């Protein structure tokens, strides 16, 4: 499954350059290991740019002490 999500700066560039290897999201899309994230750059008050990145979900943390209910942390891997 491919999930299209928006991402603002400076986080988009951090995913792009490989320094941000995780994503924290509300799990309203039933994310699963192996799913693909299409991460679209979004600028508030402007909208979407033409830049996007594809990443694969490698691991998901949920229901963890300290993590708000309904949220997940996902590891970002290169798309196969």
pLDDT digits (tens, 9 = 90+) for 22-41: 999 999 999 999 999 999 99
Q: How many domains does the chain have?
A: 1
Sign of CA dihedral 31, 11, 48, 52: negative
DSSP 8: -
Burial (0-12, 13-18, 19+ Cβ within 10 Å), 56: middle
Which CATH number do you get for residue 40?
Answer: 2.30.130.30
5-17 tens-digit pLDDT? 999 999 999 999 9
Q: Which two tokens stand for residue 52?
A: 């996007």
What are 49-74's pLDDT values in tens digits?
A: 999 999 999 999 998 999 999 999 99
Task: Show the domain range for 72.
Answer: 2-78
Query: Residue 22 pairs with which residues in a beta bridge?
Result: 75
pTM over 0.75: yes
Residue spans of beta strands (DSSP E) within 2-78: 2-7, 22-26, 36-43, 47-61, 71-78
């Amino acid at each position: 499954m491919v999930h299209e999500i928006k991402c603002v700066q400076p986080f988009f560039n951090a995913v792009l350059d490989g320094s941000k290897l995780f994503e924290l999201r509300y799990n309203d899309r039933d994310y699963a290991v192996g799913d693909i994230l299409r991460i679209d750059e979004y600028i508030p008050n402007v909208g979407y740019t033409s830049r996007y990145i594809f990443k694969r979900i490698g691991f998901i943390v949920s229901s963890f002490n300290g993590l708000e209910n309904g949220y997940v942390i996902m590891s970002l891997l290169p798309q196969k």
